[in-house]
Structure 1
Amino acid sequence: SFSLSELVKKLHSKVFLELDYETMKTRRSLRQYEIPDAEGYFDKYVYPVYLDIKTELTKEPQDVPIHGTNSKEHVYAVVMNVCHNSIKKDSMLDVQVEQC
């Protein structure tokens, strides 16, 4: 069975796109699904799961929340910076291990 907390433990870095309830609900309502959401699906399932995942993915101080209304360019720049810093950190650890 899927365990978010087990997956999160394996991640070096985490970036989470935050959205307020109204923006998220509006965006979801504008999407065209082959099978539309059942009445109340967003409030009963989608948003509560979002809140659970948000809690899990923003526990640590190094976790990076990004507001989902930022431009794609801003989000991309932040994600690239997080990835770059993670790679740089891992490379520094490799160097320290080799020096031992």
Structure 2
Amino acid sequence: MRIGGLRFGFYIAGLLAASLCFAKPYVPASDQQVLERLPFQASDPLARELSRLRIELQQDPHNLPAAIKKLANRYYGLVVEEGDPPYLDFA
């Protein structure tokens, strides 16, 4: 009886492993879909600063190098301050 239970366990484990092999990654429906939000609150000074920098980037599209540099540098600073690598993606 014990050997049969062991075989059944291997059978179930094999089925689970096989089903994972055919799993497809999640692909958002559009580029506008939000996948993750930063853990900031609206009252957080850092959130206000990042929001201001993003607004500056949107308002002055002809000065992209300066605006992008400011925003990217701030995100890089967050990586150094908090050690959170996803900020590199935002930069």
TM-score, structure 1 as length reference: 0.28
Higher relative contact order (CA 8 A, sep 6+): 1
TM-score, structure 2 as length reference: 0.30
Structure with larger Rg: 2
Higher strand proportion, which one? 1
